[in-house]
């Protein structure tokens, strides 16, 4: 039998174990972003816009972090898919990717609307707060962040919990607690501002648990790999 060429490796391509840290980064960033928003922007969408004068700086800083949180969330989705491996199902994967990407898109749209309001205020404060454009943008931002995005987050969690129950790659208590939190997001009325922090907090804790499992079974994987053979 011909020798295997030296440029062909027998090691399987693996997702970096430290990639689970991306979920932790996403959770920390988005919790910080939504905390800043909830503390500085009134929960009601028909506010007078006074926050633009007093809280423009903190809100601008929070909005700058949104793209980095989004990148980290994409990495988190990759980590979750990596744990599925050959057990991945096309039907549930479609729902998983679809709800995750829709959630992320809505977070970006909400941030873009907030950034647009801040830019308009810096150019002309009177028109930005007294015109109908502010009322529309503010109401749209509120609906996207507090209604549609959290329901997509609930769908994401519900599908992932179902995958975990069917494949048993995560403990049952993790899947059941995910179901419970998903139900809260799916049926919430959308007017509780701190509800938006449930999903990033769940991602943070789930990623921390996945990272714990990765390190726990690291030695076992190394012993089964060709490089670990004596």
Domain boundaries along the sequence of the chain: 18-41+48-215
74-83, 125-134, 183-192: the lowest-pLDDT one: 125-134
pLDDT at 177: 94
Instruction: Report the pLDDT value the prediction gives residue 194, as an integer from 0 to 100.
Output: 85
Q: Are 36 and 61 in contact (CB under 8 A)?
A: yes
Q: How far apart are CA 152 and CA 145, in angstroms?
A: 11
Secondary element (H or E) of residue 28: helix 21-40
106, 144 contact by CB (below 8 A): yes
Alpha helices in 124-217 (DSSP H): 125-130, 132-143, 149-167, 172-187, 198-216
Nearest in space to 72 (alpha carbons), one of 131, 25, 106: 25
Whether residue 214 contacts residue 79, with contact meaning beta carbons closer than 8 Å, is answered with: no
Residue 48 has pLDDT above 90, yes or no: no
Name which residue leads in pLDDT, 6 or 3. 3
């Amino acid at each position: 039998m011909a020798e295997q060429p030296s440029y062909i490796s027998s090691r399987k391509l693996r997702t970096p174990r430290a990639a689970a840290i991306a979920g932790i980064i996403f959770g920390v960033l988005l919790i910080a972003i939504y905390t800043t928003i909830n503390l500085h922007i009134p929960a009601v969408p028909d506010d007078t816009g006074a926050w633009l004068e007093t809280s423009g700086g903190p809100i601008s800083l929070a909005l700058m972090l949104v793209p980095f949180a989004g990148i980290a969330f994409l990495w988190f989705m990759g980590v979750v898919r990596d744990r599925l491996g050959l057990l991945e199902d096309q039907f549930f994967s479609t729902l998983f990717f679809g709800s995750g990407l829709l959630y992320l898109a809505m977070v970006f749209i909400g941030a873009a609307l907030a950034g647009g309001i801040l830019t308009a205020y810096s150019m002309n404060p009177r028109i930005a707060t007294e015109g109908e454009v502010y009322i529309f943008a503010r109401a749209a931002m509120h609906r996207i962040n507090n209604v549609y995005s959290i329901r997509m987050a609930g769908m994401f969690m519900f599908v992932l919990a179902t995958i975990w129950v069917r494949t048993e790659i995560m403990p049952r208590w993790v899947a059941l607690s995910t179901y419970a939190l998903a139900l809260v997001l799916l049926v919430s009325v959308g007017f509780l501002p701190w509800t938006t922090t449930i999903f990033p907090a769940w991602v943070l804790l789930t990623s921390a648990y996945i990272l714990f499992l990765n390190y726990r079974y690291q030695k076992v994987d190394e012993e089964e790999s060709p490089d670990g053979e004596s």
